[in-house]
Structure formats: structure tokens, C-alpha cells
Amino acid sequence: TKMSSSVSMKDEPTFESPSPVIAVGQVAPDFELTLLTGFTIKMSELTSRTPVLLNFIKGVWCPFCQQHLRNLRKWRSSLEQKNVTILVISNESLDILRAWTHEHPVEYQMGTVKDKNVFSQYGVDIKSHDFPRPATFLLEKGMQCILSHYGLRDETLESKIK
């Protein structure tokens, strides 16, 4: 699957991704994450239970990411019917994520990673900024990638997810 070569937004960095780092059919790198509850778990443990829609966001401060988080609320019921767990990863602290979710309750998992190498392993790091670029992956048992989408989440992504 060929991804769009660049996404440019006013006052936003340009993301160059001629080809996805994690492509459909590949095994995605495993990593450890900490959920809002403070519970730490390996991604492979989550995918051994259920497919996971893994979403990297720049941060809860990002208006485009906030729109995607609202879309996830809309998609949640259809994804749950397919037994898919939604997980959002930010590099922000748990305190920031907890404060934001206190103001904007969510019905899916959110977390953070201590090992920032995860962002480069998934091809979502932005060298000149301290936040990941947006990307969405659908991972199943064995960390097998069955959907890989870099950049803005739009109707195309929604149709792929459903």
C-alpha cells in the first residue's frame, strides 16, 4: 500500500514519508507502554488478546489530533463489535494525559512510552520537534500489521478501518 508522500498544513511541519516504515504484512516492533491507570504492559501482550488500533498523536494540545480523538469516539462501537481495542499513544506525561481526559473523558485506552526510540521504530518521529507525527496502525496477534496509515486521519482511513 503506497502512502501519500507528504502532508503539509499551515504552521505545521511537513512530513515526508515516501514509503511506510511499518508496512502492511510486516511485524511491528514490540514496546512497553504505560496506560493512564499507571499499569505498564507490552504491546505484544495487548495484541495477543485482541487486535489493536494503535494511534500515535502529537499531543492532546494538537487540534488535528483532538479531531481524530473525537472520530475515535464515533468509530469505537463498530471497532468493539469487531473486538478491536483502541489505543492512543502520546509522548506527553501521564499527568498531562490524565488532566486532559478528566476534561475530555474517553472510552478507549491512552498511554505513553518512556523509550522514545519507539517513535523512530514506527517512523513517526519528527527530528526537529519533540513530538511524534500522526500515524495509525492496526496490529493483530504476533504484532502483525494489517493497516498502516501515516499523516492526517480522514475518510480514507475511516473506510479502511471499518
The full DSSP string for 68-90 is: HHHHHHHHHHHHHHTTPEEEEEE
C-alpha cell at 91: 509522548
What pLDDT was estimated at residue 134? 80
What pLDDT was estimated at residue 40? 96
> DSSP letters along 85-146, please?
EEEEEESS-HHHHHHHHHHS--SSEEEE-S-THHHHHTT-B-TTSSSBPPEEEEEEGGGEEE
Q: Which residues of the chain have pLDDT under 70?
A: 1-20, 126-132, 152-162
What pLDDT was estimated at residue 48? 96
Q: What are phi and psi of 22, to 5 degrees?
A: -110, 110
Q: pTM of the prediction? A: 0.81
Q: CA–CA separation, 160 vs 149, rounded Å? A: 9
